[in-house]
Each structure stands twice: as C-alpha cells, then as structure tokens.
Amino acid sequence: MAAAVESFAAKGFHGTTTRDIASGAGMSPAALYVHHRSKEDLLYEISRAGHERTLALVREAVGTSRDPREQLLAVVHAFVVHHAEDHTGARIVNYELAALSPEHLEEIAAIRRQIEQEMRDVVERGVAAGVFATPDAHMTALALLSLGIDVARWYRDEGDWSPEQIADHYSDLALRIVGAVPGGNTGR
C-alpha cells in the first residue's frame, strides 16, 4: 500500500501500472493480487483510509475547545499541517476521486460531506455567537477547506516553509477570512 501511495501520488492512478507498484514494494506483480482484489480496490482502500483519517483529525481538533475561535484555529492548523506533511496521501485523497468506481466514490463522497459539515458548523457557531462575521458561512467554510487542500498540490519538502509555519500563517488568515472580531480571549 505504501508503494501504491507513492506511485499514485507521483503519476496518478491511470499513470501507474501494477508493475510500478509491485517493483516499488519489491515484489512480483502477481503478489499484489494476494492482498488486494484489483488496482482500483487498492486506490479505494488508500482513499478511504485517508478520508477517515482526515475526518478524525478534524473532529479531534474541533473537540479541543468549546470556543469557536479556538476551534477554528485548531482545525485549520491541523488540517494544513496534515496536507503538508502527508501531501503524498492527500494528493490521492483529493485528486484521484475520478478513478474510483461509482459505488466507492459515493462512499468516499459521504465522508467528504461530513468533513465539510464540521467546518461549516465551526463557522456557523462563530457567527451565531457574534465572534465571526461573514455574509455566507457556507462559502466561507469552503474557502477555508480549499486553502488547506491546495497546500497538498503546491507543498514541496524542499520548500522554504515547514508545515508548522504554513499552518501558523494560515490559521491567522482563517481568523481574517471569517471576520473574527478583534480581541479574542487568546492569541494561541
């Protein structure tokens, strides 16, 4: 599976051959089929595990506080760090959905909707509490997720910024994006 993640992320699902994966894992092509039903099934397993991990990470971040401002900071920070550190896995999660079978795609899409819902809830709770100000919580939540997801596209290990640095800056941007009122109880 690790070899498949590497190949799928670098060359895409269709650009990867079963022989690529096998040689990356130090095996013969036939050995793959002892553990996985098909190449598509391998993608599905990777994608599902990745999505579940992301959802768990988002929920965990939201759970660290009851203050919307703190929740926002925690969730954006964790989300961005994850998309930078695990950009390999995150690329498959976000950019290889079209290669999934219709049934598998629907299952994955359901997890994605839950992730989006978590972010939307955070923004809406902040607006309701009067600590955030935005004309459209739905689109604003989408923008916050966008920012994090796109990190997986452009992040390079050899780049100038560490995942932590990016996450710190993006957490700051997140407060601005939701129109957080100045003077929240803590600045981290």
Partner DNA sequence: TCTTCGCCTAAGCGCTTGCTTAGCAGGTAA
Partner DNA sequence: TTACCTGCTAAGCAAGCGCTTAGGCGAAGA
The residues binding a copy of itself (CB under 8 A) are 10-15, 94-95, 98-99, 135-136, 139-140, 142-143, 146-147, 149-151, 153-154, 161, 166, 169-170, 172-173, 176-177, 179
Binding-residue pattern over the window 38 to 77 for DNA, x denoting contact by CB under 7 A: xxx-------------------------------------
Nearest approach in angstroms of CB 15 to a copy of itself is 4
Nearest approach in angstroms of CB 106 to DNA is 19
Cα distances from 61 to residues 30, 32, 95, in angstroms, run 41, 36, 24
Please identify, using beta-carbon distances, which residue of 17 and 162 lies nearer to DNA.
17
Provide Rg for the chain, Cα atoms. Answer: 18
As a whole number of angstroms, the distance between CA 39 and CA 43 comes to 7
DSSP structure string for 50-67: HHHHHHHHHHHHHTT-SS
Q: Rule CB under 7 A: which of 89-128 touch DNA?
A: none
Please identify, using beta-carbon distances, which residue of 57 and 147 lies nearer to a copy of itself.
147
Torsion angle in degrees (nearest 10) through CA of 34, 6, 110, 146 = 180
- Would you say 58 and 78 are in contact if contact means Cβ atoms under 8 Å apart? yes
- At position 100, the amino acid (one-letter code) is L
- The dihedral of CA 42, 28, 21, 1: what is its sign? positive
Nearest approach in angstroms of CB 148 to a copy of itself is 9
Binding-residue pattern over the window 11 to 40 for DNA, x denoting contact by CB under 7 A: -----xxxx------xxxxxx-xxx--xxx
Question: Rule CB under 7 A: which residues touch DNA?
Answer: 16-19, 26-31, 33-35, 38-40
